[in-house]
Amino acid sequence: MKYPFNKGMLLGLIGIIAFSLTLPATRFAVPYFGQTIVGLGRTIIAAVMVCLLFAFRKQALPAKEHITSLVIVAGGAVLAFPLLTTFAMKSLPVSHGAVELALLPLATAGFAIWRGGEKPSRRYWTASLIAATTVILYAVHLGFGHVQMGDIALLSAVVILGLSYAEGGKLAKELGSWQVIAWAILIGAPFFLIPIVLNVHVDMLKAPPLAWLSLFYLGVISQFLAYVAWYGGMSLGGIAKVGQIQYAQPFFMIGFSFLFLGEPVTWWTIAFAVIVVLCVTIGKDAPVKGVKPRSS
């Protein structure tokens, strides 16, 4: 019996749903903790968990040939993306950020060709272009024509994280999905201690429970466990193919922003979401050269 999603696609979907709560959680936490604590503090939280896990497993050090790739992953997933999105969420609504982050699959696929040696088929690119055009039209419909510093930050985050996703998906085949992000976290964490200590203040203790829950969600889920599922999915199903699931991420984000932040959801949003999800369904079955199918 053929299932609509193999294991790689299922893990990718779990990762994307977890990532989709990142912008709403960031938007809620920033007013209480500031962008430095929210952007970098999540890595310290994740690093504590990784240290405990490594100590329990007596994890061996990564091979020298993996260090460069781990630094690339750390630079994108651990440093640049959290800081850039935290900066953007100070001024932009989540729905705005969600639409711009929808361009991430194209960035991921482009870097997959360069770093992963994958060659997506014409059907894959057709599905990708239709989905990308859909999210651009959605942005135009909402009137996001004025470019702000937050827009520049988000678009920069898309490019940097696209490289990090592709590199992490490629490395996960050799090192293991959770080990990739775990080592990337430990590489980045020591550089964040001083700025975090300098930005901690006593007023943070007055933050409401939901703000603290948002901060710990960012550290435990967004910064670590979501990446475990995401890199695992890409290592099983292929970087470009599983990366197509990202087209559904903006609509998950918009849905969560409605549930937790009260941002409105229109029928236009639902219509565009249906088109994008259909494109993902078509694109996920398109052949991609360089990927050997694995059993689910």
More confident residue, 287 or 193: 193
Give the per-residue pLDDT at 295.
44
User: 257 versus 132: which is more confidently predicted?
Assistant: 257
Which range of 97-111, 163-177, 190-204, 259-273 scores highest in mean pLDDT? It is: 190-204
Q: For residue 5, what pLDDT is reported?
A: 54
- Reply yes or no on whether the pLDDT at 200 is more than 80: yes
Which one, of 67, 71, 122, lies nearest residue 282 by Cα? 122
Task: Give the chain as a 3 state SS string.
Answer: CCCCCCHHHHHHHHHHHHHCCHHHHHHHHHHHHHHHHHHHHHHHHHHHHHHHHHHHHCCCCCCHHHHHHHHHHHHHHHHHHHHHHHHHCCCCCHHHHHHHHCCHHHHHHHHHHHHHCCEECHHHHHHHHHHHHHHHHHHHHHCCCCCCHHHHHHHHHHHHHHHHHHHHHHHHHHHCHHHHHHHHHHHHHHHHHHHHHHHCCHHHHHCCHHHHHHHHHHHHHHHHHHHHHHHHHHHHHCHHHHHHHHHHHHHHHHHHHHHHHCCCCCHHHHHHHHHHHHHHHHHHCCCEECCCCCCC
How much is the pTM? 0.77
Over residues 116-164, the pLDDT tens digits come to 666 777 777 888 788 778 777 776 666 555 567 777 888 899 889 889 9
pLDDT by residue (tens digit) across 3-21? 445 888 899 899 999 999 9
- Please give the pLDDT value at position 114: 74
For the chain, what's the residue count?
A: 296
Section 248-271 average pLDDT: 83
Please tell me the predicted confidence (pLDDT) of residue 282: 73
- Is residue 55's pLDDT more than 60? yes
Q: What is the pLDDT of residues 25-39, one digit of tens each?
A: 998 899 999 988 998
Question: Contact, 135 vs 276, CB < 8 A?
Answer: yes
What was the pLDDT predicted at 25?
A: 92
Task: Express each pLDDT in 166-185 by its tens digit.
Answer: 888 888 878 887 888 899 99
pLDDT band at 115; cut points 50, 70, 90: low
Residue 171 to residue 184: CA distance in whole angstroms: 12
pLDDT of residue 2: 47
Whether 290 shows a pLDDT value over 70: the answer reads no
Indicate the residue type of 61: L
In the predicted model, what is the mean pLDDT of residues 242-264?
83
Token pair, residue 203, equals 């007023």
pLDDT score at 1: 41
Residue 193 CA, chain-centre distance (Å), reads 23
**pLDDT, position 152:** 82
| pLDDT score recorded for residue 146 | 56
Average of per-residue pLDDT values in the chain: 82
pLDDT at 269 over 70: yes
Q: Give the pLDDT score at 293.
A: 47
* pLDDT band per the 50, 70, 90 thresholds, residue 287: low
Dihedral angle at the C-alpha atoms of 248, 250, 251, 254, nearest 10 degrees? 160
Percent over 70 (pLDDT), the chain: 88
- Note the pLDDT of residue 3: 44
